[in-house]
Amino acid sequence: MEETSLLRLISLISLLSRSSAGLTVSPSRSQFFRGESVTLICEDEIRSDGWTVRRNTTRGTRTECGDKWGEADGSTCNITLFPYDTGLYWCESMSGSSSSSSSIQLSVSGGSVILQSPVLPVMEGDDVTLSCRAKNPTHNLPAAFFKNGVFIGNESSGHMTLLHVSSSDDGLYKCNVKGHGESPSSRISVKGQRKTFNFSSAHFSTSCLPPGPAGLPPAGLLSVLHLHFPHGVFIWTQGQR
């Protein structure tokens, strides 16, 4: 009985992970100055290869990394960015099946101000820091911040922190540094809370793991399983009794 539920759980996990890849962006932000480099990595818990980065820009749709833009190395794509690289990027399985990750927006400024904001969706309840950066000088200057075109505040440090974000913080953000100019706009999307399932160690103790001394459940039982759905990421946690 307990063995059956564990098997079901494992099939559920493989089902979830097989159909999705996560896209990692390094450095992790959505805006770049002309000439900066970015690395996009397609990560999959099961296979590390078999994914390719594709994009939609004004120069073409669904074009593949390594073909006219970017340098592909397995499931990794390196790009030296220019304003025409602004667009949507995602991972797609090479087999051409319907598997793909959610897409991200990268914006390359032709000007001298960028907004550093999270490129991946943020979780409800997280604190999110927006940084307004000028190209020169590189230290942060006082900046004005805007959400959906509406002024939301001046920050002398150039940083604005949104505390405990909720869906109402979802929107298009940009900033402005006096005498330097305005950044492109980037969307901050807020996802629902992490879904965490807790399984009591009792579910796993007797039939799935070898018994400990004197028939007691062994120490270090697998007791907690977190499933992070947005990018198909899952983490096993070893629980101590």
User: Which position among 1, 4, 62, 149 is part of the footprint of ligand NAG (CB under 6 A)?
Assistant: 62
In the complex, what is the shortest distance from the CB of residue 152 to ligand NAG, in angstroms, rounded to a whole number?
28
Judging by DSSP bridges, how do beta strands 159-162 and 171-177 pair with one another? unpaired
Stretch that binds ligand NAG, among 22-30, 55-63, 127-135, 187-195 (CB under 6 A): 55-63
Q: Contacting ligand NAG (CB under 6 A), which of 14, 28, 58, 61?
A: 61
Q: How many residues bind ligand NAG (CB under 6 A)?
A: 6
CB of 70 to ligand NAG, least distance (A): 16
Q: Give yes or no for residue 63 binding ligand NAG (CB under 6 A).
A: no
Report the site for ligand NAG in 13-42 (rule: CB under 6 A).
none
Residue 229, CB half-sphere, CA atoms under 13 Å: how many?
Answer: 9
State the minimum distance, in angstroms, from the CB of residue 27 to ligand NAG.
22
| CB of residue 230 to ligand NAG, shortest distance in Å | 16
Give the residues across from 38 on adjacent strands.
79
Q: Return the residues of window 74-113 that contact ligand NAG according to CB under 6 A.
A: 88, 90, 103
In the complex, least distance from residue 89 CB atom to ligand NAG, rounded to whole angstroms:
8
User: Exactly one of 16, 36, 47, 56 binds ligand NAG (CB under 6 A); which one?
Assistant: 56
Query: Which residue, 33 or 90, is less far from ligand NAG as judged by CB?
Result: 90
Task: Give min distance, CB of 64 to ligand NAG, in A.
Answer: 12
Q: For binding to ligand NAG (CB under 6 A), which residues are involved? A: 56, 61-62, 88, 90, 103
